[in-house]
Structure 1
Amino acid sequence: MNKSWRTYLLWFAQEHIEFRFAEIDSLLSLFSIEMRFAQKPNNEPYWIVEFASENDVKLLASRSVSLRNCLELWGHEKDMWKLHEKLKCYPKHLMDPYFQPNISFKIEVETFCRHFTQKQKVDKLETFSYLPVQGPVNLKNPDVTLQYIEYYGTVANNPPELPYDVFFGRWVASGLRQLIRKFSLKTRKFIGNTSMDPQLSLLMANQACVKDGDIVLDPFVGSGSLLVAAAEFGGYVFGTDIDYLMLHGRTRPSRITQKRREKDESIRANMRQYNLEHKYLDVLVNDFSVPFWKNDCQFDAIITDPPYGIREATERVGTSKENYTVSEEHLSTHIPAKIEYGISNIYRDLLLFSANHLKVGGRVVCWFPVFREDYNENGLPTHPCLRLIANCEQALSKVTSRRLLTFVKVRQPTEAELDLKHNEITDFREKYFIIREETRKEKRMREAQVREENRLRHERDNTVNA
Structure 2
Amino acid sequence: MHLRKMWPRYLLWFAQEHVDFRHAEMQSLLSMFNIPIRYVEKPCEVKPYWVVEVPSEECVRKLASRSVLLKNCIELWSRAKTEAQLHQNLKRAMQNSTDQWITPKSENGVCDQDVCPSGLIEACRPVDKSFKVEVETFCKHFSMKEKVEKIEKFDYLAFEGPVKLKKPDTVLSYIEFYGLEPNNVPDEPEDLFFGRWVADGQREVIQQHSLKKRTFIGNTSMDPALALLAANQAQLQDGDIALDPFVGSGSLLVAAAHFGAYVCGTDIDFLMLHGRTRPTRVGQKVRKKEESIRANMVQYGYGARFLDVVVSDSSRPLWRRGRAPAMDALLTDPPYGIREPTERVGIERESYSLPAAQRAQHVPAKLPYALAQLYRDLLAAAAALLAPGRRLVAWYPLLRAEYSPEQLPSHPCLELVANSEQVLSRLTARRLLTYEKIREPDGDEAADGGAHNFREKYFNSGEETRRARKERRARELAAYLRQKEIQNAQLT
Shorter-chain TM band? over 0.9
Alignment of 1:321-332 (within 5 A): 321-332=349-360
* Unpaired runs of at least 5, structure 1: 452-466
Q: What are the Cα deviations for residues 336-384 of structure 1, in whole angstroms up to 9, with x where unaligned?
A: 0000000000000001111111100010000001111110000000011
CA distance in 2, matches of 1:227, 1:437: 31
Residue 367 (str. 1) matches residue 395 (str. 2): yes
**Aligned position for 2:96:** none
**Aligned position for 1:455:** none
Instruction: Give the residue type in structure 2 aligned to 1:352.
Output: A
Is the 1:394–1:401 contact (alpha carbons within 8 Å) kept by the matching residues of 2? yes
Which of these residues, 51, 54, 66, is aligned with residue 51 of structure 1?
54
CA distance in 2, matches of 1:326, 1:66: 53
1:3 Cα shift? 8.3
Which of these residues, 410, 420, 435, is aligned with residue 407 of structure 1?
435
* Paired residue secondary structure (2:22): helix
1:436 Cα shift? 2.4
CA distance in 1, matches of 2:73, 2:398: 35
**Aligned position for 1:33:** 35
1:423 Cα shift? 5.6
Is the 2:127–2:161 contact (alpha carbons within 8 Å) kept by the matching residues of 1? yes
Moved over 6 A (4+): 437-440
When normalised by structure 2's length, the TM-score is: 0.87
Alignment of 1:110-259 (within 5 A): 110-259=136-285
Residue 79 (str. 1) matches residue 107 (str. 2): no
CA distance in 1, matches of 2:444, 2:280: 44
CA distance in 2, matches of 1:421, 1:172: 45
Instruction: Give the residue type in structure 2 aligned to 1:178.
Output: E
CA distance in 1, matches of 2:447, 2:436: 20
**Aligned position for 2:422:** 394
Q: What are the Cα deviations for residues 41-99 of structure 1, in whole angstroms up to 9, with x where unaligned?
A: 11200000001110001011001001000000001111111100001011322211111
Instruction: Give the residue type in structure 1 aligned to 2:24.
Output: A
1:437 Cα shift? 7.4
Is the 2:375–2:449 contact (alpha carbons within 8 Å) kept by the matching residues of 1? no
**Aligned position for 1:62:** 65
Alignment of 1:271-286 (within 5 A): 271-286=297-312
**Aligned position for 1:454:** none
* Paired residue secondary structure (2:226): helix
1:422 Cα shift? 2.3
Is the 2:410–2:447 contact (alpha carbons within 8 Å) kept by the matching residues of 1? no
CA distance in 1, matches of 2:267, 2:182: 43
| Structure 2 CA distance for partners of 1:3 and 1:383, relative to 1, 3 Å | farther
Is the 1:3–1:52 contact (alpha carbons within 8 Å) kept by the matching residues of 2? no
Is the 1:109–1:148 contact (alpha carbons within 8 Å) kept by the matching residues of 2? yes
CA distance in 2, matches of 1:10, 1:177: 14
CA distance in 2, matches of 1:322, 1:46: 60
CA distance in 2, matches of 1:206, 1:291: 26
Is the 2:379–2:447 contact (alpha carbons within 8 Å) kept by the matching residues of 1? no
CA distance in 1, matches of 2:398, 2:292: 31
Residue 303 (str. 1) matches residue 331 (str. 2): yes
* Paired residue secondary structure (1:398): coil
Q: What are the Cα deviations for residues 368-404 of structure 1, in whole angstroms up to 9, with x where unaligned?
A: 0111111000000001110000000000011110000
Q: How many residues align?
A: 443
1:132 Cα shift? 2.3
- More deviation, 340-349/328-337: 328-337
CA distance in 1, matches of 2:9, 2:450: 47
* Paired residue secondary structure (2:120): helix
Instruction: Give the residue type in structure 2 aligned to 1:38.
Output: V
Is the 1:57–1:70 contact (alpha carbons within 8 Å) kept by the matching residues of 2? yes
* Paired residue secondary structure (1:39): coil
1:421 Cα shift? 5.5
CA RMSD after TM alignment: 2.0
Instruction: Give the residue type in structure 2 aligned to 1:240.
Output: T
**Aligned position for 1:313:** 341
Identity of aligned residues (%): 56
